[in-house]
Amino acid sequence: MSSKVTDQKSVLVDLTKCVGCGSCTVACKLWNAQSFQNPQTNEYENAHGVDVQLDSNTWTTVEHKKVNKDGQEVWRFVKRQCMHCLEPACSSVCFAHAFHQTEQGAVQYDPSVCVGCRYCMIACPFDIPKYEWEKVLPSVMKCQFCSSKLEDGEAPACASVCPTDALMFGNRDELLAKAHEIINNDSRYLNHVYGEKEVGGTSWLYISDVDFGELGFPTNLPEKSIPENVHGFTRFTIPIFAVGAAAWTGVSLYAKRRHAVAHEGHHAEEHHEEA
Amino acid sequence: MEKHKEQENKGMSRRRFLSVMAGAGVVGAATTMTGCRPVSDPSGIGWLPNQYRNASAQPVQVKGRVPLDPANVSLVRNDEKCILCGQCLEACEKVQSVFGYYELPVIDEFICVHCGQCSLWCPTGAIAERSDVENVWRAIQDPETVVVVQTAPATRVGIGEEFGMGAGAWAEGQMVTALRMLGFDVVVDTNFSADLTIMEEGSELVERITHGGVLPQFTSCCPGWVKFVEYYYPELIPNLSSARSPMMMHGSTLKTYNAQKLGVPYEKIVNVAIMPCVAKKFEASREQFAGLEGGAGKYYNDDTVKDMDYVLSVRELADMIREKLDVDFANLPEGQYDQIGSTAGLIFGNTGGVMEAAVRSAYTLITGNEPPAALLDLQPVRGLEGIKYASVPVPGVGDVKVAVVSGLANARQVCEDIKAGKADFHFLEVMACPGGCISGGGQPKTAVPPQNWVREARTATMYAHDKAGVINGSAAGAGQMTTEKGVLNLSHKNPQITEIYADFLHEPLSHLAHDLCHTHYVDRSDSLIRK
């Protein structure tokens, strides 16, 4: 799949620079023509604040978090959206092939073929895809990395509006180098680029001066991608099915044959009697 | 054979149906797996302002918006209306030098001085004042309470714009009438407490000059300016006059002096202020003005009382009038205040006005003589220029040098001068909003972003009324006895000011005046790292 990605783009999020203005959440709503109503409650909700959650209508949020930093309570603001894994688990579990990667590495979701099974929601290590529970024929929804903007050489909506450059857009390898440069030159940062190695690497990268776990990021993720991780046993799926099918076909043919033989024997006996 | 024909007549056979469906499934699966189909992309069906639709390599000049704490006491933002035009940032960073003047990461606060200029610049009304209208309706409807409303100087040249009267139209009388029709019990004038401020702040200045106190003295009427000093220049807090703003002096004296004069228990008084400002909402919430720290609370030893209960912007008052009254505002009869304020108090609403009013009275406080005519038309401190200097010869003390600033970016420049020892003046007036309160964050949005022609129209009306010097107040409502309708352009000549000192406060800077008319400030510099 990833072979299609020829121009991998990324966003580097410098969490120390975020001031919690929520511009990115508004840009996302504007560009994707989404309402500010919570689809379940129909209440008006901003997509940034102390208690915000992604939903089918809200593809990015900025959570205002009070965290402890060197014994002091401080504000940190955490943007959440699809991480756009280099090897996305959602895509690998989707039997309808509703997910595919664009040339720029956006993990794009196509609701027109989605059957609504929600495997992707279970597979995603970041809990990103959200279900349209409120609809009769629901789809799954998530950030598309503004795939059409990326195709046109533009930054995604959220990154284009950030007033403090907390969101930096560019090529993944260049941003990774930049992230390490920032970390190496400033002792306040943790020596960890979140997304560099997590689940095989993600398009979205984060640097921070506060522990990622405290900020709500999953910290127990393997470095191997999830598709690769499960490939060890899922690759036997087809052989197992093939062998199974062959075995049952054999059993079936055998049973049929036995039945036919028994039937013929019966007929023969009847003929004998008649004769 | 006959059976077979029957089946054909029925239409599709089961076998045929299943094979067609299986065929379609196989074709569908094949096209899906091979990617031979158009992808329907649910994203990008909306819009973004054009500046954000450029190649990612091209930098964008204007982007984003101000950070605003959802718990901000003065301002709220409706994201549904925000179009990311970036104008609020322009106001906050370039006009006020607040955003961008602290290091990142932030510490534990959304840095905001509550000036509300962002709400004036916001073209869609996404940023607005946090409304207290419902609370005020509740107080008015409560038969137990006596709701006292005061109106700031600049409100009377703003409110008319909400009702088609033209920029800077004088609507003092109509506003008083409308307030009475809305059900406010007592209508007092912040011009009165501006006069009181002159007495206290002027006396403090004379004290500092004659007894070698910290100079230059800074005015402290503007809560946006005060918080700006607390954030960015804590080393200059001793320069701030300890005098409360007129609104807060009024709050405490209304619940003590006027409550006693009216014979109303102080607990039943609800103080409401109509202000051209949203920082006043923050000021009213400061802990220095509530409970035992507050003026009335300390006076009565009651920790439940607040000096000021609710602050409404001019825009909120206009909303109340539109909601409740079906009237032609411009043609309402002109009502009279229950209190007297001088036109020296009136010009507090302009940049330079506090300074001019102070100079008029300080002249008398120092020399014992009436100020010369030039001090009644102190041109060097008037007008919209951001930083103005003047020198006033006062017999006995020589030249009193003053500086007048509006807009916090200008104030920052002057503060840096003071820190560098380059300030050569005794008294500094600062108003956070460019032009002063007449263009405050709570005024009508007659031009967006705010324009000088509107500021000039409002200022011209204020000075025209000061020149005439005619005031419009009576007595009974606030319990004070003097009735005055005539010329009064000096704060210390206000007969009700004479009365409040004679009957209650004794003299400026007295012990009681200290409790009710003065305050202290908080060093907020640990909430940010200055750039």
User: What's the CA gap between B441 and B158, in Å, rounded?
Assistant: 12
Point out the residue among A36, A74, A159 whose CB comes nearest to the CB of B80.
A36
Q: Which residues pair with B394 in a beta bridge?
A: B398
Tally the domains of chain A.
2
Q: A113: nearest CA in chain B?
A: B32
Q: Both tokens of residue B350? A: 């302009």
Residue B234 has pLDDT above 80, yes or no: yes
- Domain span at residue A117? 2-232
User: Residue range B20-42: average pLDDT?
Assistant: 69
Q: Is B55 on the interface with A (CB under 8 A)?
A: yes
User: What's the CA gap between B155 and B160, in Å, rounded?
Assistant: 9
Q: Which range, of B38-42, B366-370, B461-465, averages the lowest pLDDT?
A: B38-42
User: Are A135 and A261 part of one and the same domain?
Assistant: no
CB distance B517 to B244 below 8 Å = yes
Whether B217 maps to a domain, the answer reads yes
CA angle B233, B234, B237 (to 5 degrees): 100
The number of beta carbons lying within 10 Å of the beta carbon of residue B166 is 11
- Domain span at residue B244? 133-518
User: What's the CA gap between B433 and B452, in Å, rounded?
Assistant: 12
Whether B147 maps to a domain, the answer reads yes
User: What's the CA gap between B520 and B237, in Å, rounded?
Assistant: 9
B interface test, pick of A50, A160, A208 with most B CB neighbours within 10 Å = A160
In B216-355, DSSP assigns E strands to 217-218, 269-275, 310-313
Euclidean distance between the first and the last CA atom of chain A, given in angstroms as a whole number: 71
CB distance B244 to B222 below 8 Å = no
CA distances from A247 to A45, A238, A255 (A): 57, 14, 12
Which of the four pLDDT bands, split at 50, 70 and 90, describes residue B28?
A: low
User: What's the CA gap between A254 and B209, in Å, rounded?
Assistant: 115
User: Are A35 and A169 part of one and the same domain?
Assistant: yes
Q: Is B374 helix (H, G, I), strand (E, B) or coil?
A: helix
pLDDT attached to residue B29: 64
Q: Both tokens of residue A213? A: 């776990």
User: What's the CA gap between B301 and B291, in Å, rounded?
Assistant: 8
pLDDT attached to residue A1: 45
Q: Is the peptide bond before B449 cis (omega within 30 degrees of 0)?
A: yes
User: Are A81 and A210 part of one and the same domain?
Assistant: yes
Low-confidence ranges of chain A (pLDDT < 70): 1-3, 267-275
Q: Which residues contact A32 (CB under 8 A, 6 or more apart)?
A: A59, A144, A157, B42, B43, B44, B45, B46
Q: Is A177 on the interface with B (CB under 8 A)?
A: no
In B212-319, DSSP assigns E strands to 217-218, 269-275, 310-313
Is A211 or B477 the better-scoring residue by pLDDT?
A211
Q: Is B359 left (phi over 0), alpha (psi -120 to 50) or beta?
A: alpha
User: Are A170 and A38 part of one and the same domain?
Assistant: yes
Q: Is A164 on the interface with B (CB under 8 A)?
A: yes
CA-closest candidate to residue B427, choices B254, B269, B233, B216: B216
Q: In what order do the strands lie in the sheet with B146-151?
A: B186-189, B146-151, B269-275, B310-313
CB distance A198 to A84 below 8 Å = no
| Residue corresponding to tokens 């073929």 | A113
The predicted-structure confidence for B271-297, as pLDDT tens digits, reads as follows: 999 999 999 999 999 999 999 999 999
Euclidean distance between the first and the last CA atom of chain B, given in angstroms as a whole number: 97
pLDDT attached to residue B486: 64
Q: How far is A18 from chain B (nearest CA, A)?
A: 7
Whether B528 maps to a domain, the answer reads no
Q: Is A169 on the interface with B (CB under 8 A)?
A: yes
Q: Which residues pair with A77 in a beta bridge?
A: A64
User: Are A256 and A154 part of one and the same domain?
Assistant: no
User: Are A102 and A52 part of one and the same domain?
Assistant: yes
User: Are A85 and A101 part of one and the same domain?
Assistant: yes
User: What's the CA gap between B137 and B159, in Å, rounded?
Assistant: 19
The predicted-structure confidence for B101-112, as pLDDT tens digits, reads as follows: 999 999 999 999
pLDDT attached to residue A274: 56
Q: Which backbone phi and psi does B165 adopt, to 5 degrees?
A: -90, 0
Average pLDDT along chain B: 92
Q: Both tokens of residue A202? A: 């993600």
Task: Kindly report the CATH number assigned to the domain that includes residue A153.
Answer: 3.30.70.20
Q: Both tokens of residue A22? A: 């929520």
Q: What is the pTM of this model?
A: 0.90
pLDDT attached to residue B61: 86
Using a pLDDT cut of 70, give the percent of chain B over it. 93
Residues of chain B with Cβ-Cβ distance to A50 below 8 Å are 70
Q: Both tokens of residue B128? A: 């607005």
Q: Both tokens of residue A169? A: 């857009």
User: Are A44 and A173 part of one and the same domain?
Assistant: yes
The predicted-structure confidence for B316-340, as pLDDT tens digits, reads as follows: 999 999 999 999 999 999 999 999 8
Whether B65 maps to a domain, the answer reads no
Say whether B46 and A34 touch across the interface (CB within 8 A).
yes
User: Are A102 and A19 part of one and the same domain?
Assistant: yes
The 8-class DSSP code of residue A51 comes to S
pLDDT attached to residue B300: 97
Say whether A76 and B105 touch across the interface (CB within 8 A).
yes
Which of the four pLDDT bands, split at 50, 70 and 90, describes residue B10?
A: low
Say whether B48 and A141 touch across the interface (CB within 8 A).
no
Using a pLDDT cut of 70, give the percent of chain A over it. 96
Q: How far is B511 from chain A (nearest CA, A)?
A: 39
Point out the residue among B35, B70, B108 whose CB comes nearest to the CB of A49.
B70
Point out the residue among B43, B79, B89 whose CB comes nearest to the CB of A22.
B79
Task: Kindly report the CATH number assigned to the domain that includes residue B502.
Answer: 3.40.950.10
pLDDT attached to residue A2: 46
Which of the four pLDDT bands, split at 50, 70 and 90, describes residue B1?
A: very low
In chain A, DSSP assigns E strands to 9-14, 48-49, 61-69, 72-80, 99-101, 107-109, 130-131, 140-141, 167-171, 204-207
Say whether A97 and B33 touch across the interface (CB within 8 A).
yes
When mean pLDDT is compared over B91-100, B202-211, B463-472, B486-495, the highest value belongs to: B91-100
The number of beta carbons lying within 10 Å of the beta carbon of residue B84 is 26
Whether B41 maps to a domain, the answer reads no
Residue B239 has pLDDT above 80, yes or no: yes
CB distance B401 to B313 below 8 Å = no
Whether B118 maps to a domain, the answer reads no
Say whether B45 and A33 touch across the interface (CB within 8 A).
yes
Which amino acid is present at A229? N
User: Residue range B296-311: average pLDDT?
Assistant: 97
**CA pseudo-torsion sign B384, B385, B388, B393:** negative
Which of the four pLDDT bands, split at 50, 70 and 90, describes residue B31?
A: low
User: What's the CA gap between B152 and B358, in Å, rounded?
Assistant: 17
Residues 23-42 of B with CB under 8 A from A: 32-33, 35, 37, 39-42
Q: How far is B64 from chain A (nearest CA, A)?
A: 5
Q: In what order do the strands lie in the sheet with A9-14?
A: A167-171, A9-14, A204-207
Q: Torsion angle of alpha carbons A204, A209, A214, A216, nearest 10°?
A: -20
User: Are A136 and A248 part of one and the same domain?
Assistant: no
Q: Is B79 on the interface with A (CB under 8 A)?
A: yes
User: Are A154 and A177 part of one and the same domain?
Assistant: yes
Point out the residue among B56, B79, B105 whose CB comes nearest to the CB of A154.
B56
Tally the domains of chain B.
1
User: Are A151 and A192 part of one and the same domain?
Assistant: yes
Q: Which backbone phi and psi does A35 adopt, to 5 degrees?
A: -80, 170
Q: Both tokens of residue A24? A: 């990115």
Point out the residue among A26, A66, A163 whose CB comes nearest to the CB of B89.
A163
